């Protein structure tokens, strides 16, 4: 199901449950602000998700409502994860879906990190 713009936070969404340790994940990084784990359905040789430790649906929500320390800590963590994954030399892509047009599926802010091969054009073009 696609997350609609303005949807309220659902504390039982799958990433909230991963943060609480209720369902398993394959972690790659954790600190006080962020948690990173492998995507269950990878779309590149490296496909990792970074999520903030807090109840935020999307970047639209996080950028307005999260405290400054969490916002800074989260974005630092995204960069740190990419470094730790060894992606800096060959390059990588980050992506965050938000709301209806993006087809966001999980209603907890997450940044995708893709790498490990040339990633092609940024977006599919309309036929």
For ligand AMP, the binding residues (CB under 6 A) are 14, 25, 39-41, 49, 97, 103-106
For residue 19, the surrounding DSSP H or E stretch is: helix 14-19
For residues 16 and 14, give the distance between their C-alpha atoms in angstroms, rounded to a whole number.
Answer: 5
108 counts as catalytic: no
Nearer to ligand AMP, 21 or 67 (CB): 21
Tell me the backbone φ, ψ of residue 84, rounded to 5 degrees: -65, -30
Partner residues linked to 34 by β-bridges: 52
- The secondary structure of residue 52, as a DSSP letter, is E
In whole angstroms, how close is the CB of 117 to ligand AMP at the nearest point?
Answer: 17
For residues 98 and 105, give the distance between their C-alpha atoms in angstroms, rounded to a whole number.
Answer: 9
Nearer to ligand AMP, 39 or 80 (CB): 39
Nearer to ligand AMP, 19 or 106 (CB): 106
């Amino acid at each position: 199901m696609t997350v609609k713009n303005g949807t309220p936070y659902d504390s039982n969404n799958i990433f909230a449950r991963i943060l609480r340790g209720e369902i398993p994940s394959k972690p790659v990084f954790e600190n006080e602000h962020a948690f990173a784990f492998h995507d269950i359905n990878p779309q590149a040789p490296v496909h990792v998700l970074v999520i903030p430790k807090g109840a935020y649906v999307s970047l639209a929500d996080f950028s307005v409502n999260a405290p400054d320390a969490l916002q800074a800590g989260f974005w630092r963590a995204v960069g740190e994860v990419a470094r730790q994954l060894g992606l800096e030399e060959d390059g990588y892509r980050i992506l965050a879906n938000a709301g209806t047009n993006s087809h966001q599926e999980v209603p907890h802010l997450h940044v995708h990190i893709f790498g490990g091969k040339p990633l092609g054009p940024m977006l599919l073009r309309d036929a």
